[in-house]
Each structure stands twice: as structure tokens, then as C-alpha cells.
Amino acid sequence: MPPGRPDSGAYPAPSIPPGGEDPDAVGRGEEALRRFHEEEDLDRVYDFRMLRGLWPHLRPHRHFLYGSSALLVVMALLGLGRPLVMRAALERFQQPDGAAMLTQFGLLLGALIVVEQALSFPQLYWLQIAGARAMADLRRQVFTFLHTRSMAFFDRTPLGRLVTRVTNDVDAIAEMFAMGALNAIGDLIRLVAIVAIMLSLDWKMSLFAFVAVPPVAVAVNWTRKRMRVAYREVRTKTARMSAFLNEQVSGIEVVQAYAREQQSERDFDEINYAYRGANTRAVVLDASLDAAIEMVGSVCIAAVLWYAGARTVSPDITFGTLFAFIAYLEMFFMPVRHLSARYTAVQSALAGAERVFQLMSSTDQDAEVRGDAAGDAVSLPEDWPSPDASAFAFNGVTFGYRPGMPVVHDIHLEARRGETMALVGPTGSGKTTLASLLLRLYDVADGDGQVDVLGRDVSKIPRNDLRSQFAVVPQDVFLFPGTVASNIAARDAEPDVERVRATLERIGALDLFEGREQGLDAPVVERGTNFSAGERQLIAFARALYRNPPLLLLDEPTANIDSDTETRLQRAMDVALEGRTALVIAHRLSTVRHADRVVVMHQGRIVEQGSHDELLELDGVYARLHRLQVAQQAIEERMDELVEPSSA
């Protein structure tokens, strides 16, 4: 990790507004990123206006929403008609010819039920289809957004939280559709219609029954507030658990090497028990609300029966009316329960939407969208790349990963076309930082110098176009799950197998990979752990040659490998350097012996530069490093000589 760079769990450093951007917009973005990193405010009431941010994703699928809403209204009306049919049947049954009419009323009631249930499938299906497609679009947008961020953004953003935003928070929004939250509209329609029907049946008995509404409203409101806090706490604990698991699995080698299993298990238990406690509180509140509403509803029905019994002498209450009234009274409490549950789902969705939109409104202190974000004004210059310009140049560049903590100081460096330039120096001297600036993984702040590639300031070149001019061979090669061929042809959806074979043959590695079972179709597991470090490096060299760019970045390409593999890699490097401009970050000075120029860095500054022989003659920092490595190599060779006879 370069010095001064914050680790992935750090909170964002104070922002330096990049030049050319609206300072107010940058301030708003940084405030959103600050809130994104803070613990969730469990007492916050989310604004329903947040749903407007979801509309652009729902709009392409609005015909499903409109159809679902129309069916919802029809279903609500059909459901409300059933007690009226029963009332008419009971009242007609009391008449002389009433028994003969029961069959017709039965068929009518059955038809209402069948039609209502038949409509429930397309209604819920269309609603969930709209939600699922909209959430797929939102996930894609968030994923694309993350691809456009600079490395500074990821340096100060915990990985677990990013994963939670793309999965758990979007899932919370999707849950709103899965639970049929749109059906809350139907519940409201039912409530209003039930109240109107009950008043029309018997307004006195209705007023008596509605005495139970205030206690129910108080219970619902009291429980709802606490459920909102409880469910948000559950989501916070879920995010914390996700981040912890990601951290532990990523660092499992260190955990096992330092025998930290028991400590990790204790830490997990603490998080897990906290999650269990939060989930238990939410479940208890949910169950309590259901029980309270059920109890109040039962008491209310009993009270209405008592009241109706006291009025039996009144001719305005018939048996059919009383039956219908009680049926509507039972139906009255069902939407109340549904609304409470759906309100929780909507609050959860709003909370997830807010966190997702906060993430997507955050800005990098690196002016990360100046070159390639959608809608950006910067476009690819017509005269780029310039045929007469130098390959790349650093003009007075000072840069640090945190404000006020520069890692490189006033760098002036220019590489000619076709030149192989090597950067050497101790760990932390700024070598990898310069390579990162060439690729615009980080941006230099205005006033701190300029980085040019092929004749243009890199901040004026869209990132994708800039990086298409480079191939990178890193020290720690990352391989994606797939095959050997698909990893070499990294940017091609369908690898050109013959081109892959020719590339491997050029670097003398075709026999190595074709000799494996399944050859170039040999599977690559996650991170390529089923290949040795040397094999992964060879795949990285082949990947660079397959891409065939004019500029090449090699970051410690032969570090930490055995001598036999180094011979293969040295051949691969020689082939890769043919006809290209290369920047080689070297640990073993033997790999830069034939470089056109060697640049020696120390504490973020260039202290020497020249050819290998010139620097040895200078007898400075490079010469001392060279002597140390020669002595170390001699010791290793002597150790090998001592070990070999004893082994025999």
C-alpha cells in the first residue's frame, strides 16, 4: 500500500475541490459521501419523495404498474361486494320463495370469489415484474457507477458497505414490490369504501363501532415508530455482518497464520448476537401489533353484537344487515394490519433508496467524472494521440493520497517514444504512484502539476480511451474465473483462440499451458489460485501482448519468483518490450540492466537517472542498491551449494 493512502476501512478525508467543477456541487457530493459512511440514523423518518428517484427506473415498465393498479381497484370492489350479496341472500331467504333464490345468490357469490382470485395472479405478477426489472436496471446503474470511480473513492470506502448497497439495499427496495406495497392503495380504497358502506347500513351502529378506531390508531402509531427503528437496526447489523465476513474471508490467510480463529469467532458472535437481538425485537413488535389489532377487532365485534341485541326491538336492523355489518367490521381491521406491514416495507425501501442515491450522488476528490462519466462535457481530442509527442511526461507533479501528505514531490520526467524507462528505489518511494497517475487511477489536483500521455493532459482524455493505449502487467496478477484463454483475451467476449496460441508461443509459454489438462480451456478458479505465481505472471504478459497497445506498464514483473520462472518471464518481457514504450517498476535490478534509462527514486523524489552503466559509475544510490543485491544473490547461491550436497 503506498504511503499515506488510507486503508479501505477509513472514513473519507477532507475533500479538495477539483478545478473546473462547481465547488457547491462538490461540497454536496462530499456531504453525501460523508453521510454514506456514517452509521444510519435509526430515528430518521424517510421522505416519501424519495420514491421519485425510483420513477426513472420504473418508467420503462409503467404499463405493468398501470395494469396492476387497474386490477387492484377491480379486486377491491369485488371483495367489497361479497357481504352485500350475503345480506341480500339472507333477507330474501326470510321471504316465502327465498329458498329457491339461494342457488342464484350462491352462484353470484362464487363468481365474485373466482373472478377476484383469478385477477390476483396477474395483478401481483405484473407488480413484481415491474419491480424486478426496475431493480435490475438500478443494480446495473450502481454497478456502472462504481466502475467509473477513481481508486481514491475505493481507498476510503469500505468494500462491505459497497456490496451492501448493491445487494441488501436494492433488495430492500425490491421487497416493497414483493410484498405488494402498491396494494396499500387497494387497502386505502377498501377502508374508505367500508366506512361509507357501514354508515349507509346503520350510521348509529357505525359510530358505536368506530369508538374502537382511536385505540387501534394509537397502538399502530406507537408500534410503527418502534418497528421502524427495529427494522433499521436489523439492516445496520446486516451491513456490519456483511462487511465483517468480507474482511475475514479476504484475510483468512492472516487469520490462520496468526491463530486468530478464536478471536474472530468471538467478534463474529458479538455481531451475530447483536443481529439476533435486533431481529427478535422487530419480530416481537410485529407479532404484538397483529395480536393487538386482532384483540381490538374481536372486542369490537362483541360490542356490536351486544349493541345490536339491545336494539332488537327496532325494526331498522334486520338479520341480513347485521350479518353484512359484522362482515364489513371484520374487513375493516384487515387493511389496517396490511397498511402497517406495508408501511414498514415502504420505510425499508425508502431507507435503501436513500443509501443507494447517497452513494450515487457522492463525488471523488479526484474529479473522477471529468473524463468518462455519462453526460460529461469532455470528449476525446481529435488530434490525440499526437504522432510527434513524447510517450508520457510528468511536469512538476506533486501528489498525495491524503491532503497535506504528498507521496511524490515535484516530479519532472519525460519518456521518448520507444524508450524503456525503469523506476527503481526502496518500497514507498513513489514508483507505483507514478504508474497510477499515468492510468488516471488517481488525478493530480489543479496547481500540482500535469501528467501528459501521447501529447495530452490525461485529465482531458476520457479514461477508457486513455487506458486503451496501455497494457499493464502488475506484480500481483488478478485472474478472473473462466479459462486460460478468456483471461488472456480479457476484453473479448469470444477469445480468438489462434491469436491466444500465437501470443503464448511468442513468449515461449505455449507448451506450459497446453501441457495442462484441457489446455487453454483449463478452468481458472477465483483469483487464479490454481496457478502458480509464475504462471499467473505469464498469463499477464500474454494478456498485455494480446491487447497490443503502444504503451506498457510493468510493475515488479519478476518479483518473488524462482529463477527458472524468471528466465521464462525475462523472455516474455523482452518480447513485450519490442517496439513499445515501457515503464518498468523493478525490484530486481537485473531486470533493468538493458533499460534505456533507469530513474532512481527515494522518498518521493527523483535522485538519479541514467543508464545502468552510468549509474554504476556515478556510485550513488543505485550503485549501493546494486551492490546489496549482488551480495544477496551471492549468499543465496552459496546457500544453494551448501544445501544440494546434504540433500543428495
For residue range 231-244, what is the model confidence (pLDDT) as tens digits?
Answer: 778 877 877 887 78
Rounded distance, CA 368 to CA 152, Å? 9
Dihedral sign from CA coordinates of 334, 336, 340, 345: positive
**Domains in the chain, ordered, with CATH?**
31-361 (1.20.1560.10), 392-647 (3.40.50.300)
Length of the chain, please?
Answer: 648
Rounded distance, CA 635 to CA 639, Å? 6
Dihedral angle over CA of 445, 450, 452, 458, nearest 10: 20
Which residue would you say has higher pLDDT here, 117 or 492? 117
Dihedral angle over CA of 487, 491, 495, 496, nearest 10: -120
pLDDT of residue 3: 44
Least confident of 9-18, 58-67, 129-138, 454-463: 9-18
φ, ψ dihedrals at 417, nearest 5°: -60, 135
Nearest-10 crossing angle of helices 213-250, 319-361: 30
Q: Is 624 left (phi over 0), alpha (psi -120 to 50) or beta?
A: alpha
Confidence check: pLDDT of 140 > 80: yes
Confidence check: pLDDT of 148 > 80: no
Residues 6+ apart with CB under 8 A from 625: 424, 589, 600
pLDDT of residue 181: 63
φ, ψ dihedrals at 601, nearest 5°: -115, 145
> How many of the other CB atoms lie within 10 Å of CB of 295?
11
Which of 283-287, 536-540, 568-572 is predicted most confidently? Answer: 536-540
Q: Is 579 left (phi over 0), alpha (psi -120 to 50) or beta?
A: left
Q: With CA atoms as reference, report the closest residue to 198 among 322, 113, 74, 335.
A: 322
Average pLDDT over residues 370-379: 43
Average pLDDT over residues 255-277: 87
Average pLDDT over residues 263-277: 89
pLDDT confidence band for 132 (50 / 70 / 90)? confident
Identify the burial level of 495 via C-beta atoms within 10 angstroms of its C-beta, where 0-12 means exposed, 13-18 middle and 19 or more buried: buried
Residues 6+ apart with CB under 8 A from 577: 420, 552
CA distances (Å), origin 240, targets 18, 229, 247, 517: 32, 16, 11, 42
The pLDDT mean for the chain works out to 78
Which of 224-228, 554-558, 584-588, 637-641 is predicted most confidently? Answer: 584-588
pLDDT of residue 301: 79
SS3 state at 609: strand
pLDDT of residue 368: 41
Which residue would you say has higher pLDDT here, 636 or 287? 287
Average pLDDT over residues 302-313: 72
pLDDT of residue 165: 78
Confidence check: pLDDT of 573 > 80: no
Name 414's bridge partners.
393
Average pLDDT over residues 460-478: 86
pLDDT confidence band for 404 (50 / 70 / 90)? confident
> How many of the other CB atoms lie within 10 Å of CB of 440?
25
pLDDT of residue 182: 67
Q: State percent of the chain over pLDDT 70.
A: 81
